[in-house]
Structures are given as C-alpha cells and as structure tokens.
Amino acid sequence: MTSTLITGIAELVTNDPAWSGSGVSGDVARLGIVADAAVVIEAGRVTWVGAADAVPQADSRIDVAGRAVVPGFVDSHTHLVFAGDRSGEFAARMAGTAYDGGGIATTVAATRGASDDELRGLLAARIAELRRQGTATVEIKSGYGLSIDDELRLLRLAREVTPHVTFLGAHVVPAEYAADRAAYVELVTGPMLAAVVAQRAAAYIDVFCEPRSAHAFTEDEARTILRAGQNAGLAVRVHGNQLGPGPGVRLACEMGAASVDHCTYLDEADVAALADSGTVATLLPGVEFSTRHPYPDARRLLDAGVSVALATDCNPGTCFTSSMPFVIALAVRELRMTPAEALYAATAGSAQTLGLPGRIAVGERADLTVLDAPSHLHLAYRPGVPLASTLTS
Ligand SMILES: [Zn+2]
C-alpha cells in the first residue's frame, strides 16, 4: 500500500464545517475551507487532512502549485446510456417549437437499435468527458429501453460504470402502449420491476410525473409505480414539476423520496412539503438553459430551509451537457445561489441524494477535484473555462 501526499493546495474545500473557524459563518462555513492545505490518500481513501506545514510522511507527492481542491462533483441525475442525436430537435426548439417530452421516443428507437458495444462505447466517452470536468460520482437512469429486455440491458451497462443506478421504466409511455396506458403501468410494476429486482439491477426507482405531458405519468400512475418499487425494496426518486405546477413534488415528499428533481414550478405547499421532509430538491438548470423555460427559484428553497442539490440531467433531448461547472455557474447567475451554496449543492447536496457524505475527510473516499484557480469562486467567476478535473478516482 502506498500513500500519496497532495500538497500546494491554496484552498481546500472539505464540506466539513469543523474546519471553519469562529470568524466564518453562513453559506461559507459549511464548506469547511482550509487555506494552505495538504491531503494524504492511500488505497483510494483519505488518511490525513490538514495544514501544509504539518504534513506526515508519504511515499509519493503531488504538488498542485497553488490551486484549489474541492470534493469531486456528484452528478446525481443523468441519462447517459443512449444512442442517437437530437441536435435537430434542439435547433427547432431554439426556433420556437415547444418541448413536451415527445422527442424521447426518438432516442428510444435509436437506443433499442444500437448494440451493447455501441452503447458501451458511447457511455465510456461520456464518462471520460464528465471526469475531465471534475465529476467523481455519477448516477445513471435507464428509460430509453421501455421493454423488459431493453431496460435491463441499459441498467446492466450503467452498472458497469457506476453503482448508482436508477430504474426509469416509467420515463414515458412507449408508442406501442399509447392506446392502453394502464397496460404499460402493469408491465412496469409487474414483470419489468420483478426482473429488475431479481437481477439487483438498480437501487432506485424513478418516474416522470408530469400530467401536462401526454407522454409522461399522472399522479395516480406515478404513485402506483413508486409504491410498487418501494415495496420491492427500491428507494425512490421523482422527476417532478418540470413543465408546470403539478403533483410530483408533494408525491415525492409523501413517498419519502431521496430526491425530487427539476422543481421548476413550485407553489407554497410544495415548498412547505419539501421543508418538512427529508427529500432533497435537485435543481437541473442546464435544462432551463437548453429549453428556454424559466429557472427554478433556488433562493426561495434555501430560505425555507430545504436541502438543495445540483445536477446536469445530461440527456440527448432537453440538456446535453455533462458539465457540473457549467451548472454551478448557471446556479449562481440565474438561480441566485451564492458560489458557496452552489458548490455545496453540487457536492454534499447531490451526494446526500445517493446516501454519500460528499466531503473530504479522513476515512472517506478520496474523490478530489482540482481547479486550475486559487479559489472555488472561480467556478462561477470564469464560466465556460475548463478549470476543473478529477485529481483522483
Ligand atoms: Zn431526467
């Protein structure tokens, strides 16, 4: 076993408030910043954190030469296993065509038609792309298969690259079931779910709850699907309140979901339900950027005491970015989050939805991201500049 000392860290963000002195408060205190710091890692774990003038012996040394180090970004909402291209749909939308979820069928057809190796190659390239931008942990959903065999195949491919896999058979009702939605809900909650559970193919179940879209699921359908998943031992995530006000957020809170994602259109009851629940509100502002919808109001959620996460929703239809730094910059500029709040939401916040600590501390996984900048403030201060990359993992 060899140990590595990482030194020359101008600013270390730990997300461990024990490191914040008494003079630091509010949003910055949660980041647990250590100035002029060092970290020792061994066998993929952090074994020491502290000031650079007190470092222990180590077998090797990496000098980051005055850069900042932050916890590896946690992208807790992606749809990375797919084939095909919907850039034409994006161009049409920018020219004024509305989005209602119907384009997912295009990706389902392309994905069903691709071989395992084609999908594996596309997925590997996307994983490499997000690592180059500082993401250490990624959640991946199925949802472009929508048959038993195709959903299992996507879950299996996702499981090859991450342990954080979500069954999204209820992404949309596939075209072949358009005339009999109830039959598709029975398929998802019956033999499809049974096969997912039998193969231990996913830890979570998710549903696109959006009564405004003819392709997505109503409140009653979503509740039936999530309950079946919960009864089968899966934890719950929800796509809710993306296209307009709706029942998704309250349903997620009622079900004790780990996360409800989008949260673009919220009323007072939604915010109160989130504040009273353990459910994290995951905001995906890359979607609003790419669809020209209004942005969610992060300020309102944070001021109400709601736990907030940030993720990309990387998918070929509504948001084809894999960049957490881009999402952080959007959150600061458009969602009125402070740079500290946005970084915390993109690390500890999104980690919370996956049952992970999302911090740099002794005994935790050594997921470290280095910024080609002296401070985390540069993530939003220098939008579009490739500052972040994973240092380890
Ligand atoms: Zn999504």
The string of pLDDT tens digits covering residues 139-183 is 999 999 999 999 999 999 999 999 999 999 999 999 999 999 999
Ligand 1 center to 360 CA (angstroms): 28
**Whether residues 242 and 227 fall in one domain:** yes
Instruction: Give yes or no for a contact between 350 and 309, defined as CB atoms under 8 angstroms apart.
Output: yes
**Whether residues 235 and 104 fall in one domain:** yes
**Whether residues 266 and 139 fall in one domain:** yes
Q: What is the CATH number of the domain that holds 91?
A: 3.20.20.140
Ligand 1 center to 199 CA (angstroms): 23
Predicted local distance difference test score (pLDDT) of residue 103: 83
Number of domains the chain contains: 2
Three-state DSSP class for 290?
helix
**Whether residues 68 and 78 fall in one domain:** no
pTM, two decimal places: 0.97
**Whether residues 149 and 293 fall in one domain:** yes
Ligand 1 center to 326 CA (angstroms): 17
Predicted local distance difference test score (pLDDT) of residue 24: 80
Ligand 1 center to 361 CA (angstroms): 31
Ligand 1 center to 320 CA (angstroms): 11
Measured over the CA atoms of residue 225, residue 227, residue 228 and residue 229, the dihedral's sign is positive
Ligand 1 center to 349 CA (angstroms): 17
Predicted local distance difference test score (pLDDT) of residue 21: 79
Q: Given the structure tokens 């090859």, which residue do they identify?
A: 160
Ligand 1 center to 104 CA (angstroms): 11
Pairing of strands 45-51, 33-42: antiparallel
Residues 6+ apart with CB under 8 A from 213: 100, 101, 102, 172, 243
Ligand 1 center to 303 CA (angstroms): 25
pLDDT digits (tens, 9 = 90+) for 25-36: 788 999 999 999
Exposed/middle/buried for residue 77 (C-beta within 10 Å: 0-12, 13-18, 19+):
buried
Residues 6+ apart with CB under 8 A from 46: 39, 40, 360, 361, 362, 363, 364, 365, 366
**Whether residues 135 and 90 fall in one domain:** yes
**Whether residues 45 and 163 fall in one domain:** no
**Whether residues 25 and 81 fall in one domain:** no
**Whether residues 68 and 95 fall in one domain:** no
Ligand 1 center to 207 CA (angstroms): 9
Type of residue numbered 218: T
Q: What is the CATH number of the domain that holds 59?
A: 2.30.40.10
Cross-strand partners of 198: none
Ligand 1 center to 182 CA (angstroms): 23
pLDDT in tens, the chain (393 residues): 799 999 999 999 999 999 987 778 788 999 999 999 999 999 999 999 999 999 999 999 999 999 999 999 999 999 999 999 999 899 988 998 876 666 888 999 999 999 999 999 999 999 999 999 999 999 999 999 999 999 999 999 999 999 999 999 999 999 999 999 999 999 999 999 999 999 999 999 999 999 988 999 999 999 999 999 999 999 999 999 999 999 999 999 999 999 999 999 999 999 999 999 999 999 999 999 999 999 999 999 999 999 999 999 999 999 999 999 999 999 999 999 999 999 999 999 999 999 999 999 999 999 999 999 999 999 999 999 999 999 875
Q: Which parts of 199-349 fold into alpha helices (H)?
A: 219-231, 248-255, 268-275, 285-291, 298-303, 324-334, 339-344
Ligand 1 center to 358 CA (angstroms): 21
**Whether residues 96 and 219 fall in one domain:** yes
Ligand 1 center to 208 CA (angstroms): 8
Q: Domain of 309?
A: 73-352
Ligand 1 center to 388 CA (angstroms): 24
What whole-number distance in Å separates Cα of residue 347 and Cα of residue 327? 12
**Whether residues 137 and 32 fall in one domain:** no
Ligand 1 center to 115 CA (angstroms): 23
**Whether residues 144 and 260 fall in one domain:** yes
Ligand 1 center to 317 CA (angstroms): 10
Pairing of strands 235-240, 204-209: parallel
Give the count of beta carbons closer than 10 Å to the beta carbon of residue 365.
21
Pairing of strands 280-283, 235-240: unpaired
